[in-house]
Amino acid sequence: MLLKEETHILDIESIRADFPILSRRINNYPLVYFDNGATTQKPKQVVDAISHYYSNTNSNIHRGVHTLSREATEAFETARKTIASHFNIKNDQQIIFTAGTTDSLNILSNGLTQSVLRPGDEIILSSYEHHSNILTWQLWAERNSGKLKVIPLKDDHSLDYSALENLITPKTKLISVAHVSNTLGLITDLDKIKTLAKKHNLIVVIDGAQSAPHMKVDLEKLDVDFFVCSAHKIYGPTGTGILYMSDKWLKQLPTTKPGGGTIKTVTFEKTEYAEGALRFEPGTPNIEGVIGFATAINYLNRFGIEKIHQYETELVNYAQDKLAEIPEVIVYGKSKEKAAVISFNVKDTHPFDVGTLLDKYGIAVRTGHHCTQPLMNLLCVPGTVRISFGIYNTKSEIDFFIEKLKKVITMLK
Ligand SMILES: Cc1ncc(COP(=O)(O)O)c(C=O)c1O
């Protein structure tokens, strides 16, 4: 759905043609897909790369001498280089393939539990963390008499960084925060966090699940200990993601998920583990997923992530301005600096009702707690309606959504 007179810094019409699913009709309306925060749609280039892999190259990787195995290994390791280069990492071994953000955080917290975290230590999170970035640390805390501390929210729903330093004690070991809130779209001020972390010698973990799809992430410049994200939110396949770790941690973090591929030599008495990324990649990995992930990254880089960010910021501000004109709508975390996500509620209605009725017009939005129940408690709501944009969304779709939202509001009155 694109008006002819819409002009963009990107050729959205040809981008949309790359995503076969966008031509689907839902309930007799053209699909308006505003659920990109949950997962993005896949361009045909990604689908084709996976299909090509299975039709031509499928084989297990590493250790094989036959042609198919060597080709599959090369495709897998080239993907690692592509992804490392996208995040401006010179040593591609610092990119470890995992099953996604959640898996990366679990691998990481298990490794830190076995190495640097001690009983009674403290970990700092933010008020708007996804459950993935809460539960694994909470389990550690429960089992080790540890403590989780939380950066509070201000009245405008942004983080109160002025409260952060007071949370830090000699027992604080680590701070783990989302780069972008998956519910509010707010961008975390990582400079503030890193300055305090440096001063107090804290390990910094960045959950980039919602930043990597929408903005330039230069890991060399970011200079943090760990960064995690998922391919499926960046137009790649499900079941794949990365755990980036700094050079220091690549050497120090123990493997907690051993298996074939992670080793140099094994005897019944002792195992010597491999160096680099392989040490953290047990078993047969998601080969086609990794190849699809790199294809998605190459696809995005045809346009440039900075341009995508600029375009999506335009969409967010356009939608926020339109929502502000509807008196019944409450937007959470209103800011002009958002990464493609807006959460709102319609006064005196349940978000499920709004979402269900919007679906009747082919509009896919997410409703509920968005895996951020602690944030919902702070906002005093059971859930919100969340719209989240991707590279293929348009202002015409936002106009259509606003028109139908107004209709839904009158239906629910
Ligand atoms: C901020 C954030 N962290 C973690 C996750 C979990 O990602 P995955 O389900 O891909 O592991 C999500 C998913 O929505 C997210 O938005």
Q: Which residue has the tokens 């308006």?
A: 32
DSSP 218-233: -HHHH--SEEEEEGGG
Q: Is the pLDDT of residue 7 over 70?
A: no
Residues 260 and 73: their CA atoms lie apart, in Å, by 15
Residue 371 is a catalytic residue: yes
Q: Is 136 in the pocket of ligand 1 (CB under 6 A)?
A: no
Q: Whose CA is nearest to atom 16 of ligand 1?
A: 182
Is the predicted pLDDT of residue 359 greater than 90, yes or no? yes
Indicate if ligand 1 lies below 6 Å from the C-beta of 182.
yes
Q: Which residues contact 265 (CB under 8 A, 6 or more apart)?
A: 271, 272
Q: What is the pLDDT of residue 211?
A: 98
Give the three-state DSSP class for 94. Answer: helix
Collapse the DSSP code of 200 into the 3-class scheme (helix H, G, I; strand E, B; otherwise coil) and give the result: coil
- pLDDT score of 337: 85
122-179 pLDDT per residue, tens: 999 999 999 999 999 999 999 999 999 999 999 999 999 999 999 999 999 999 999 9
Q: What are the strands of the beta sheet with 172-178, ordered from one edge?
A: 95-98, 241-245, 226-230, 203-207, 172-178, 122-126, 147-151
Tokens of 233: 């939110």
Q: What local confidence, expressed as pLDDT, does residue 245 receive? A: 98
Per-residue confidence (pLDDT) for residue 140, from 0 to 100: 97
Tens of pLDDT, residues 86-121: 999 999 999 999 999 999 999 999 999 999 999 999
Q: Give the distance (Å) from ligand 1 centre to CA of residue 130.
A: 7
pLDDT of residue 1: 61
pLDDT value, residue 3:
55
Q: Is 214 touching ligand 1 by the criterion CB < 6 Å?
A: no
- Mean pLDDT, all residues of the chain: 96
**Nearest-atom index, ligand 1, CA of 371:** 14
Q: Quick one: pLDDT at residue 189?
A: 97
Q: Is 188 in the pocket of ligand 1 (CB under 6 A)?
A: no
Residue 173's pLDDT is 98
pLDDT digits (tens, 9 = 90+) for 266-280: 999 999 999 999 999
Q: Which of 163-182 are b and which e, b meaning 16 or more Cβ less than 10 Å from the residue's Cβ? A: ebeebbeeebbbbbbbbbbb
Q: How does residue 64 score in pLDDT terms, banded at 50, 70 and 90?
A: confident
Distance between Cα 117 and ligand 1 center (Å): 24
Instruction: Tell me the whole-structure pTM to 2 decimals.
Output: 0.97
Alpha helices (H) in 302-329, listed in sequence order? 305-324
> In 184-256, where does DSSP find H-type helix?
190-199, 219-222, 247-252
Tell me if 178 CB under 6 Å of ligand 1.
Answer: yes
pLDDT score, position 129: 98
Counting atoms of ligand 1 from 1, which one is nearest the CA of 230?
10
- 3 state SS of 60: coil
How many A from CA of 364 to the centre of ligand 1? 18
Up-side HSE of residue 236: CA atoms within 13 Å toward CB? 30
* pLDDT, position 12: 95
Q: How confident is the model at residue 6 (pLDDT cuts 50, 70, 90)?
A: low
Contact (Cβ atoms closer than 8 angstroms) between residue 296 and residue 42: yes
For residues 392 and 42, what is the distance between their CA atoms, to the nearest angstrom? 11
Cα of 154 vs centre of ligand 1, distance in Å, is 24
Best residue among 130, 229, 242, 386 to mutate for probing ligand 1's pocket (most ligand atoms within 8 Å of CB) is 130
Write out pLDDT tens, residues 230-274. 999 999 999 999 999 999 999 999 999 999 989 999 999 999 999
Read off the pLDDT of each residue in 312-335 and give the average, rounded to a whole number: 96
Is the distance from the beta carbon of residue 100 to the nearest atom of ligand 1 less than 6 Å? Answer: yes
Instruction: State what percent of residues in the chain have pLDDT above 70.
Output: 98
Closest-lying ligand 1 atom to the alpha carbon of residue 129: 1
Catalytic residue among 2, 116, 263, 371: 371
Bridge partners (DSSP) listed for residue 122: 147, 172
Residues 227/232/235/236 CA torsion (nearest 10 deg): 90
Q: Nearest-CA neighbor of 250 among 286, 229, 225, 285?
A: 225
Q: Name all domains of the chain by residue range, CATH numbers in brackets.
A: 12-43+304-412 (3.90.1150.10), 48-301 (3.40.640.10)
24-36: string of b/e by CB count within 10 Å (b at 16+)? eeeeeebbbbbbb
Alpha helices in 62-117 (DSSP H): 67-86, 101-113
pLDDT of residue 63: 84
Among 272, 361, 295, which Cα is nearest to 33's? 361
Does the Cβ of 130 fall within 6 Å of ligand 1? yes
Verify whether ligand 1 is closer than 6 Å to residue 101 (CB atom): yes
